[in-house]
Amino acid sequence: MALSGPQKTVMQTVSVVVLMGGMAWASVPLYDWFCRVTGFGGTPGQVSVGSDEVLDQTVKVRFDGSLNDGMPWEFKPVVREMEVRIGETGLAFYEAYNPTDKPVAGQASYNVTPYTAGPFFEKIDCFCFTEQVLAPGERVQMPVSFFVDPEMVDDRDGKFVHTITLSYTFYEIDLPEGYAALDQDSVTATN
């Protein structure tokens, strides 16, 4: 059955709307994947083991922590900076505190600056890989282990990087199912 002019136009319009909706839905995960693979925008890589090569050259790593608007936690690096040899595995800690009377879940977004260091900054393990839930009044120290890839010293732009800043921003997320009952219990206890 052939479509008439107006029917064909409606079908084409609906197809374009569906296609654009699909592209919008897929854009965030595709962009995230692109940034992780290429280091674009200062996004560090994620690896399962440390470097097998450690150089005598060092790089200073600074740590920064902030909170998204409305996030009730306190959040900061335990140490503001450290110097590591390129290729050496570093271990740093961030401290988070929930001063509220209810459990709060959070997820950290992160990047490194300068952006040219992004492809060479590798995280082995990090609290930012999973969501975090803090009970009322809970204070925790969360680790991040990392290294700077020795290939940075041979990179056209990377070889000029002597200081890298690792930044995290925590934002509040919905409580996971198991914790939602705890939140409901704390509301019931206060009534």
Model-level pTM? 0.71
**186: phi then psi, degrees, rounded to nearest 5:** -70, -30
- C-alpha closest to that of 108 among 150, 136, 152, 73: 73
Residue 2, pLDDT score: 73
* 18-47: average pLDDT: 55
Per-residue pLDDT reduced to its tens digit, 176-191: 987 766 555 555 555 4
Q: Assign 45 to helix, strand or coil.
A: strand
Under 8 Å between Cβ of 148 and 166: no
More confident residue, 106 or 42: 106
Partners of residue 180 on adjacent β-strands: none
